[in-house]
C-alpha cells in the first residue's frame, strides 16, 4: 500500500482548546500522527510516496473561494489586530442571521466561517491543512491511476470541515477533496465510508444534494455526541441526492457486535451504489480507550476485521486519517486496520 505522510502537519500545534466549556490541553496534537508513523515503520508497512502540490482550483471544487482565502490569512490578520497565541471564535451567525455578506470585522468573520470554540486557529493551521489536502490529492491521484489502495497519514483531520466552515479540529475536508478529485479524473461514482466516532457533518453537507457521491457514516448518536446538529438517521439527502446519504447513529457504549452490524449495513448499501472508488474516513476514536469517545472497539480483535471487510468490497480504496485521541494506541489501531485490509 502506498503511504503519503504529511511532513508539515506539526505546523499546526495547538496548546489548548475549549472542551465542554473548560480550557483543557488540546486533544488533537502532533503526537497523533507521529505515533502512527512510528507504528507503520515498526512493522515496515507500506511504500512511501512524496506529496505533490496541487493548485487552489482543485480545493475550490469543494470549499468556497472566500472561505479558503479567509483561513489562508486569518491568523496573520489576527496578529495584526493585536491578537496573541491561537485565535478562537467568539460570535456566530445562526438561524435568521445572514451569511451571504462577509463582514469586515475579523471576529465576525471568524464566527461566520466556524461552528465551535474547540478548534484553535493556530499560526500553522492553514499550512498544515493545505499540505494535508495535497497529501489526500496525491493519494487520490494514485488510486485514479490504478493503485489498489493508499493511506494518507495527515492531521489535522478533515471530515467536520464543510464547504465554507471549520470546526471539530478540521479546516479542509481531505476526504471530500479526494472524492471530488476522483470524480473529476475518471470515477463515475465515488463512495465515502466514514467510520470515525463522530459524524462527518462537513462531508455530508458538501455532497448532500448529489447522486454521484454516496456518503455512509457510522457514528455516535448526535442527540448526545458532537457534532450534535447533524447525523440523524432520517437525513437521506435532498434533491438529486436523496437516497445517497446514509447515517447509522449508535448509542454511547455500543458494543463491537452492534458496531459491525452497522458496518455490514453500510457496506451492503455501498455495494448497491457500485462505486468506482472508495474513500474511507479512518477515525480510530471508536477505540475502547479513547478519552473523548464512547465505543468499544479493540485493537487486535476489531480493527483487523474492519480492514478485511473493506477489502472484501474489492473497490480501489483511499484511507485518510481522521480522529483517534488515545495517542499511544492510535498507531496500533491504524496499523491493525491497514494490515487487515492488505491481508485480503
| Residues designated as active site | 160
Burial class (CB in 10 A: 0-12, 13-18, 19+), 58: middle
96: Cα separation from own chain's centroid: 29
Q: How many CA atoms lie within 13 A of 87 on its CB side?
A: 29
**Three-state DSSP state, 273:** helix
Q: Return the half-sphere exposure (C-beta side, CA atoms, 13 A cut-off) of residue 288.
A: 10
| Grid coordinates given for 295 | 465505543
For the chain, report the end-to-end CA distance as a whole number of angstroms. Answer: 12
Closest to 174 in 3D by CA, of 138, 220, 219: 138
Task: Check the CA dihedral 170-177-304-243 and report its sign.
Answer: positive
With a CB cutoff of 8 Å and minimum separation 6, the contacts of 111 are: 89, 90, 91, 92, 93
Using the 8-state DSSP alphabet, how is residue 4 labeled? Answer: E
Q: Are strands 277-282 and 317-321 parallel, antiparallel or unpaired?
A: parallel
Residues 209/238, Cβ–Cβ less than 8 Å: yes
Q: Among 198, 154, 146, which Cα is nearest to 175's?
A: 154
Q: Is 152 helix (H, G, I), strand (E, B) or coil?
A: strand
Amino acid at each position: 500500500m502506498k503511504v503519503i505522510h504529511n511532513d508539515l502537519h506539526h505546523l499546526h500545534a495547538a496548546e489548548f482548546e475549549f472542551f465542554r466549556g473548560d480550557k483543557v490541553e488540546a486533544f488533537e496534537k502532533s503526537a497523533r500522527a507521529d505515533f502512527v508513523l512510528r507504528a507503520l515503520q515498526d512493522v515496515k508497512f507500506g511504500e512511501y510516496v512524496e506529496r505533490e502540490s496541487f493548485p487552489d482550483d482543485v480545493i475550490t471544487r469543494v470549499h468556497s473561494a472566500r472561505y479558503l482565502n479567509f483561513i489562508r490569512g486569518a491568523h496573520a490578520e489576527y496578529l495584526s489586530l493585536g491578537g496573541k497565541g491561537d485565535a478562537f471564535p467568539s460570535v456566530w451567525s445562526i438561524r435568521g442571521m445572514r451569511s451571504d455578506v462577509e463582514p469586515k470585522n475579523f471576529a465576525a468573520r471568524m464566527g461566520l466561517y466556524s461552528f465551535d470554540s474547540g478548534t484553535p486557529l493556530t499560526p500553522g493551521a492553514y499550512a498544515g491543512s493545505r499540505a494535508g489536502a495535497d497529501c489526500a490529492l496525491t493519494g487520490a491521484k494514485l488510486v485514479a491511476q490504478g493503485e489498489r489502495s493508499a493511506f494518507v497519514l495527515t492531521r489535522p483531520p478533515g471530515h467536520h470541515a464543510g464547504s465554507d466552515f471549520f470546526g471539530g479540529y478540521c479546516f479542509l475536508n481531505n476526504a471530500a477533496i479526494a472524492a471530488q478529485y476522483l470524480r473529476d479524473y475518471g470515477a463515475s461514482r465515488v463512495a465515502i465510508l466514514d467510520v470515525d466516532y463522530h459524524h462527518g457533518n462537513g462531508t455530508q453537507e458538501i455532497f448532500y444534494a448529489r447522486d454521484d457521491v454516496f456518503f455512509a457514516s457510522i457514528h455516535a448518536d448526535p442527540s448526545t455526541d458532537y457534532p450534535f446538529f447533524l447525523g440523524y438517521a432520517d437525513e437521506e439527502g435532498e434533491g438529486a441526492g436523496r437516497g445517497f446519504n446514509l447515517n447509522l447513529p449508535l448509542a454511547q457504549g455500543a458494543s463491537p457486535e452492534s458496531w459491525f452490524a452497522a458496518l455490514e449495513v453500510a457496506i451492503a448499501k455501498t455495494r448497491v451504489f457500485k462505486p468506482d472508488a472508495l474513500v474511507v474516513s479512518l477515525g480510530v476514536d471508536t477505540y475502547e480507550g479513547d478519552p473523548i469517545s464512547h465505543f468499544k472497539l479493540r485493537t487486535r480483535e476489531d480493527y483487523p476485521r474492519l480492514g478485511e471487510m473493506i477489502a472484501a468490497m474489492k473497490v480501489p480504496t483511499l484511507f485518510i486519517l481522521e480522529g483517534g485521541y488515545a495517542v499511544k494506541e492510535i498507531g496500533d489501531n491504524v496499523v491493525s486496520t491497514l494490515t487487515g485490509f492488505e491481508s485480503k
